[in-house]
Structures are given as structure tokens and as C-alpha cells.
Structure 1
């Protein structure tokens, strides 16, 4: 279905002329209403590719009533600011790690618990069918935005300026984290000092020695070229980190029922595209980074799993019964989709 995605360009998606300020009207839209989509991935990354698919599908399924204009690479905002802009109606769509939304729904921190799932299939089942997670997502419209579908980013791993073969190597090292308690607790449990900063500042901060590394999925590491300044890639896969695609609730409430269905259909199909693209690209991305000079290792995971056990206890102290609920869903999913 998406074999020609590379032919889709931002120019194609945004070629429509903006008529005046193109305001949404209650239940209807002008012939070419522009919707703004902000994300922090580079133009050559998977988020941009999926955004182009989404934009094309929105235009197709709304018969041209809506055109999605994409702003990549943090042009409009970093991830936390883009979510704030969703709430204010300043942007219409964004896509970010689930933990980024936890500022507004703290229980979503629990999706970033370390080693919660072990495979893409398990992760997809969690995000598509976990009763607990569906319930949490259903609360988001009252926060000013709602989840349309979930795009893929993959499992988080490390890029550092020196080798990271075990938690012992983390001692005295500064690790960039985004504003998420679970990620911060996990990094500190491993042994890092943590520094919170937007992803758009990370490359230069590593280059200048402000931090010694960062952790993100392989797709993000490759897209944002972190391996250039932190050439030791350690494949811990410590957190599954997909990307909910969200729409401003202000925008959603102004859509007709027909256009809501069209946008949800576009969101679902762009999710399918994103998941296949990211899953199928990981091995080649690793090889490309190795060819560019990166050192890639798959360490013994046992010491890392042992180091982060305290994170679960801390989560239970703060989130109580919610921890048991998501862990029960994850255990059932691991049983249903066992890894080899």
C-alpha cells in the first residue's frame, strides 16, 4: 500500500493555497483548510515519512477539505511545547513518545517502565489492546488532546562518548533525559547523573561535553545523527518507546463526524506504515551507523535488568494499583506473544 511513500513530498502535501487565515468552522471546513502538524524528527526520518503518508491520506479521505502542513525538526516547537500548543489550539497534530504526554497525564509514565515488553509484537498489542492503557488514553481529551493512533519508534538504547558495557560504566557519566520521571529514575538506577533537556539541544550538548550521552530508539539515533558525537551505541533496548499521534481537542470538536472518521482512517493507515518502516529498518540503520564509524555492542542485559529493579518499587509507591494493572496486561501479552 505504501511502496511509493518516498514519492510523497512536503510540497505535495502542502501545495494548497491558504485562503485568508483558513479557520475551522463548526462541523464544516472551507475548501482548503490547513491543519498544522509539528514534530521533532529530521526531514529524512521515519516520523516525517509517516507524517507525509498521513497528510496525503487526510487530503484523500476528506476529498481535499483538509490539507496537513508538516513542520519537522522542531520548527514550531520541541516536544513538550508542541503538546502545550495542542492544548491551546496552536497546532493541530503532533507525534511524540508516550512519556512526553505524562506531564499532563502522570500515569502514562508507567508505559516507560524498563523492560516492560520485549518485542514489537508485544508492544503493538499493549498499545492497541491493553485495557488499562485504553482507559488512560480515554482521559486525554479533557487535557486538551486525544490519541488517534500509535506510530513506531522502537526500543530505546544508548549512545555515549565512551563504552557502556555494564552499569558500572555509567558511574560519573551525565545522561540527557527528556522530562519523564520513569526515564530519569531508570537512568539514575543504572548509575547515570541525569540532565533534562529538549531533544533539539542534545547533539550540540554532547558535542560540547555538557552531557556524555543520550538514549533513544535506533531510528531516532540515526535520524538525528547522535552517533556522530556519541559513537558508542549500546543496544540495551531498555524501554519500548512508541509515538502516539495526537490531535488538538479544539480541532477535533470542530470536525464533522465524516471528517473525524476520515482522519482516524488516515491515522490508522499511517500507523501501519510507521510500524513496518521502523521495524524493517533497524538492522540496516545499525549497519549504516557502523559504516560511518560507530561502535555497536549488544551487552549482557542481566546487570541492567538487575540495576533497574528499584524503579518498579518506586513506581508502586507513587502510582499504586495502576502499576499492577499495566504489569498484568504486559504479562498476559508476553504470554500471548512469547519471544524466542
Structure 2
């Protein structure tokens, strides 16, 4: 009798083990489609950025998620991590390079420490000042050739999301190169941006953006550059007196993917990601300009003075900033010169 009970318990345990193995096998092999063929296992994309929830960039990321998940029938899940949850801008780019993060939205300037050829996009007064011409340039073969340079460091650039033209803020109007002399500016970690301020006679400081408000308030720095909505979001207008409208550059965002991860995807998923990229770009641009229009009125009402440079003043800046273009060519040699000349030709 005892022997029979023992055999019964052994058979019961074995049945649970077999059932468990069967369940595990089904979960890893994937579901079947209508034709009885196996579908690939689900894929999760961690998508990080440093902007606030519901900002223009975050809304673009949400649109990307919506489109990609719909196009892949839920096979791909996109998890969005805003507000630097996965690290600061430099750390999240490094995370993509190492494969710890699948995707990020990053300002072009933060590629300076990974693939500095990309900082061509930081050359002041280079980009078209008309939005539609800029968007056309970003879809050009010349721009694709430049963005492909990130692949040499293990990163795939899907493309660019435009997030507004940069303006200078400071304690006074900055409508001439001479006005910059002796001032200290917060600068993103791009050799080209550092050279921009040095050429103007100002001192650049690589300061974390989160620390910029206090630095301006205490006088550690005197000014900064950003699109109006970014300046407003960080409340920098509260500690600055004048915004000079120069449209001297763009604070545009690279949509970056780990190259090994991207290369391993089926073409159908890559196509879905491209659709998501384009839909997200449209949402980001629309929301950015809506925000810029609204915040200027609010900033003016709070006492911020706005100064717009004249055409003649712009010409003086363009001539002065030729030295920054020359710096880029000298710094990056024939390869940099070839990329820059292709962009300039596309602009023309």
C-alpha cells in the first residue's frame, strides 16, 4: 500500500514537471499565425530621452510607439522613458552604443563625444533659416551621408526631428559679435559650439542643463542658447533679461538606435520603425512651433525683452562665423570637408 502511494506521488510530480516544460516551450516558440506558421517572439524597445513628459519630443516618442505597435500587431512593444530616467544625455547615447538601451532621442551636439563629424550640424548660420527648406535638407542624400557616420561607432541614426531654431539669451542685446566679449555661456559638449563662443570672444562652459538656472541666477554664467520653448520650459527667462532672435542654429534631435539590435530586425519591423519615425517627426515639429508661439507671448508678459537682428547684422555674424566653419574643416580634415561641402551644395 505504501509502495503504491509512493508511485502515485512520483507520477503526480512528473506530470507537473512535464506540464511546466510544455508551457515554457510554448512561451518561447511564439504564437501561430492564421496559416499555422510560427511568429517571432515579442520585442521590447526601451526608448529614452531627457525632455519632460508631454513635451514636443515626448509626444513624438508616444506617436512612434503608437505607430510601431500598430504596424507590428503588438509584436514590438515600445517603452518610453522621459525626463532622463535612463541617464543624462551623454549617458543615454552611451547606453545605446553599448546595447543597454535600444533607442534614444538626443540633441545632435551630444554626439560630439562619440562621432564628432556629426557636430557639423552645430556650425552657426549654416542651416537654412526657413523651416521648410531645413526639413527638405534633413531628408536629402547629403544629410543621409552625414548621419551614416554614426554607424562606425555602433549606432544607427534613423534621422532627425526638428525642434526649433536657437536664440541667445543674456543680460543685454546680443545683436553684434562685440556684445559677446567677456561673457560666459553655457554650451553643449560640441567642439563646434565651443569654437562658436570662443570666436565671439565669450567663454563657453560645459554645464549640465539642469544646473543652468542656478548658474544664471548666481552669475556663474551670463547667457545660454536654445529655442524659445526650451528656454521657457526650464524657466530660464526668469533669470535672463533679453532674448536676441538670431535663428543662428538648430536644436534638432537625432533618433538613435543600437546598430546591432537594428541590423537583427526583420525588414517589416524596420519599415514599421521608419513609419513611426516619420509620424513622430510630424507631431514633434507641429507641437514645437505651437509651443514657441505660445511661450513668446508669456515671456514678453513676464518682462522678457526681445530683440531681432537685422539683415545687415546677420551678414556680420555670418562673416564672423566663417572661422567656425574653417575650424570644422581643419579639425576633421578631408572627410569633414567632403561632408560639409555636400551639405552646403544641398542647401544651395
TM-score bin (small chain):
0.7 to 0.9
**What corresponds to 1:36 in structure 2?**
46
**What corresponds to 1:179 in structure 2?**
189
**What corresponds to 2:136 in structure 1?**
125
Shift of 1:59: 1.7
More displaced 10-residue stretch of structure 1: 291-300 or 184-193: 291-300
**What corresponds to 1:314 in structure 2?**
327
Q: Which SS does the other structure have where 2:297 is aligned?
A: helix
The size of the alignment, in residue pairs, is 309
1:167-316 to structure 2, matched below 5 A, reads 167-299=177-309, 300-316=313-329
Quick one: which of 138, 146, 171 aligns to 2:156?
A: 146
1:21-32 to structure 2, matched below 5 A, reads 28-30=40-42
TM-score (norm 1): 0.82
Distance 2:47 2:211 in 1: 21
Say whether residues 1:65 and 2:78 are aligned partners: no
Shift of 1:164: 2.5
Distance 2:65 2:95 in 1: 19
Structure 1 residues 130 and 191, CA, compared in 2 at 3 Å: closer, same or farther? farther
- Structure 1, unaligned runs of 5 or more: 1-21, 336-340
1:267-294 deviations in Å (ceiling 9; x for gaps) = 1211122223324543333222212332
Distance 1:250 1:115 in 2: 35
Q: Which SS does the other structure have where 2:221 is aligned?
A: coil
1:20-40 deviations in Å (ceiling 9; x for gaps) = xx99x9x9433xx44222111
Structure 1 residues 76 and 181, CA, compared in 2 at 3 Å: closer, same or farther? same
Structure 1 residues 334 and 99, CA, compared in 2 at 3 Å: closer, same or farther? same
More displaced 10-residue stretch of structure 1: 180-189 or 95-104: 95-104
Shift of 1:214: 1.2
**Conserved 8 A contact 1:151-1:275:** yes
**Conserved 8 A contact 1:153-1:220:** no
**What corresponds to 1:95 in structure 2?**
105
Structure 1 residues 225 and 57, CA, compared in 2 at 3 Å: closer, same or farther? farther
Distance 2:227 2:121 in 1: 15
**Conserved 8 A contact 2:137-2:347:** no
Structure of greater Rg: 2
RMSD: 2.5
Quick one: which of 78, 91, 104 aligns to 2:88?
A: 78
Distance 1:225 1:46 in 2: 17
Shift of 1:116: 0.8
Shift of 1:254: 4.0
**Conserved 8 A contact 2:48-2:103:** yes
TM-score (norm 2): 0.80
Structure 1 residues 73 and 302, CA, compared in 2 at 3 Å: closer, same or farther? same
1:104-152 deviations in Å (ceiling 9; x for gaps) = 2221121211111222222222221142x32232232331221113111
1:195-234 deviations in Å (ceiling 9; x for gaps) = 0122232223222322112111223223322222224211
- Structure 2, unaligned runs of 5 or more: 1-26, 31-38
Q: Which SS does the other structure have where 1:35 is aligned?
A: strand
**What corresponds to 2:114 in structure 1?**
104
Structure 1 residues 280 and 330, CA, compared in 2 at 3 Å: closer, same or farther? farther
